[in-house]
Amino acid sequence: MEYEPTTIRNPGRTSVVETGSLVVAIILVLLFLVRPAMSSLGQKKSQLQQIQATYQNAQKDKEQLSQLVQKVHDSKADLTLVDEALPLTDRPTQVEVLLDSLVTASGMKTVELNFQPQDNTSVGDPQLVANPYGSDRKVVPTAVDLSVTGTMDQLKFLLQQIETNGRVLDVSNIEMTSDGKNTLFKLKLKAYSYVP
């Protein structure tokens, strides 16, 4: 038997098979461990971009809301005119006091003043009292019958007063009767309010 000497490998050298195996192992690690992490990272980035876009939109909305609030604060005089024109309640006493003052200013005398009865079930509603602007509202007319005595010039002045006062009032009909001494004018009006 012949004896064959064994060769000792040099520890600093690696074979092609070992190098190939190492490269394959690295590729497999990248495919199974790093790639899913990278995919998850990509999803997180897209979610972050969506959140940032939502945040920017919210910031823009906040700026617009702040501008609107500032406009409301700057428009107190206009809001007062709107509140006078369309009050948030439909109390007939408000219209009665207004019409009485207009009739008196024109020099006429009130003979009769009647209101269409209102079914206002919202009066005393605690939620409405706590938040008067929180409920849905609509413009509601109140029919008013007003009978006055006076002259045609006084009637003309009364109609001008009705048209130029702050409250929205519409005159829909005027009837005139005279007994020779006094002229009676019967006016049909509508007063509007912005109620729930």
Residue 168 lies in a domain: yes
Q: How far is CA 136 from the centre of its chain?
A: 10
Answer for the pair 170, 119: CB distance below 8 angstroms, yes or no. Answer: no
Q: With 60 as the cut, is the pLDDT of residue 122 above it? A: no
Asked if 96 and 165 sit in the same domain, the reply is: yes
Residue with tokens 């009837």: 175
- In the chain, how many domains are there? 2
Residue listed under structure tokens 């945040």:
55
Decide if 190 contacts 142 (C-beta within 8 A): yes
Asked if the structure places residue 183 within a domain, the reply is: yes
Note the residue count of the chain: 196
Model pLDDT for residues 35-56, shown as the tens digit of each residue: 677 777 778 888 889 999 999 9
Q: Residue 148 in contact with residue 187, Cβ under 8 Å? A: yes
**Residue pLDDT, tens place only, 175-189:** 999 887 888 999 999
Domain-embedded: residue 156? yes
Give yes or no: residues 151 and 96 share one domain: yes
Cross-strand bridge partners of residue 113: 146
> Are 102 and 154 within one domain?
yes
Sheet holding 183-195, edge to edge: 109-115, 138-149, 183-195, 169-178
Q: What is the mean pLDDT of residues 100-111?
A: 90
Token pair recorded at residue 181: 């001494």
Is-contact 100 110, C-beta < 8 A?
A: yes
For residue 188, the model assigns a pLDDT of 93
Whole-model pTM: value is 0.55
Q: Supply the range of the domain harboring residue 94.
A: 88-118+136-195
User: Per-residue pLDDT averaged across 139-152, rounded?
Assistant: 88
* Portion of the chain with pLDDT greater than 90, in percent: 19
pLDDT at 3: 62
- Place 133 in a pLDDT band, splitting at 50, 70 and 90: low
**The two three-digit tokens of residue 27, written as one number:** 């590729």
Q: Does 96 lie in the same domain as 55? A: no
Domain assignment present for residue 1? The answer is no
| CB half-sphere exposure, 17, CA atoms < 13 A | 0
User: Domain of 180: which CATH number?
Assistant: 3.30.70.60
Give tens-digit pLDDT for 66-91: 888 787 777 777 766 666 666 666 77
